[in-house]
Amino acid sequence: MQAVTHSDYLQHTLNNSIHFIGRGLHTGKAVSMTLKPAAANTGYEFCRLDLQPPYNLVPARWLNVSDTRLSTTISNNQGTSVTTVEHLLAALSACGVDNCQIDVDGPEVPIMDGSAKPFVDQILAVGLTPQAAERMAIVIQQPVFVQDGNAQAGFIPFPEPWMDMTIDFNSPLIGKQKMVMPMNPRNFAHNISAARTFGFSEHVGTLKTLGLAEGGALSNAILIDNDEIANPEGLRFEDEFVRHKILDAVGDLALLGVQIVGCFVGERSGHRLNNQLLRSLMYRDRNWTMTTLEDAIVNWEQLTEESINHEAAT
């Protein structure tokens, strides 16, 4: 476990606003988005600049997930939605931003290059400000799993946030890939954030018929065509596909609004199953406890020390 300072126990927001201009992956429309500092205990809240109050505010919460086809969409009680939120939320969460107002002038977050790296780079560049409120954490005490056919997702007890992801595609180019790693800002920035979203050329026609992937291009996604990478630059990582699935999961889990002290285990998991897991977790409150992040870490350290002392004595 990495060394923890007092500041790590406090909530953080951005030092300054950050502006992005891009295009929506599914709508294909130009998007202007600004990340702004927000007060403690705000969480992540989207503000649709193209709409009037009270219809314009969309809190990023697990209960507000309204669609999970190829991306995660959240909606408020008035039916206002924001889609493709997972890459941005993954960047904010993994970089340690607890509170942020997200102003966007349309219904979709810009896809940028198909990864979270453009968001991470700018967040790290402006830096964070600690706030006078403690970070809360959900500590997994008993395993919680959901399953759909041969796909499953779950949490198991663990002393810090970890990710254990396995994917298995019926494509010789991808096949079965697995990655297990601690989820902290450094690991996410260096090993996960640059992994891009991906798709298959044979699905493009169907997606466009459904009104999806209108903004898809080789500049913002990996395209697999006849079991070959169509992108001239190739892959950024040999196992970029499983890394991107971890990125997606980090973003989906960020909708819980607090840190998760435990290990996420995903096998062929996607946006829908990730959200089902959060719903199942919250409805099984005997399997977890809510506490401050400081207490969660201190308690685990005490348990570890007691276990070591017990083993030494025996």
Amino acid, single-letter form, for residue 159: P
The H or E element spanning position 137 is strand 136-140
User: Cα separation of 133 and 145, whole Å?
Assistant: 31
User: Is residue 86 within 8 Å of residue 72, measured between CB atoms?
Assistant: yes
Q: Confirm whether residue 168 is marked as ligand binding.
A: no
Is 248 marked as a binding-site residue? yes
271 counts as catalytic: yes
103 annotated to bind ligand: no
Rounded Cα distance between 291 and 136, Å, is: 6
Around Cβ 90, how many Cβ atoms within 10 Å? 27
User: Contact 230/218 with Cβ under 8 angstroms?
Assistant: yes
Is the CA virtual torsion 70, 87, 183, 140 positive or negative? negative
User: Closest by alpha carbon to 67, among 215, 272, 229, 247?
Assistant: 272
- HSE of 108 in the Cβ direction (CA atoms, 13 Å)? 21
Catalytic residue among 12, 203, 271, 310: 271
Relative to beta strand 263-267, strand 228-229 is unpaired
Distance set, CA 250 to CA 18, 109, 172, 197, 267 (Å): 21, 16, 26, 14, 14
Report the alpha-carbon distance of residue 90 to residue 86 in Å, rounded: 6
- Enumerate the β-bridge partners of residue 153: 146, 266
Q: What number of CA atoms fall less than 13 Å from residue 121's CA on the CB side?
A: 9
What tokens were used for 11?
């909530």
d(CA 151, CA 26): 25
Q: Which residues are catalytic?
A: 271
Give the residue ranges of the annotated binding site for Zn(2+): 87, 244, 248
Give the residue ranges of the annotated binding site: 87, 244, 248
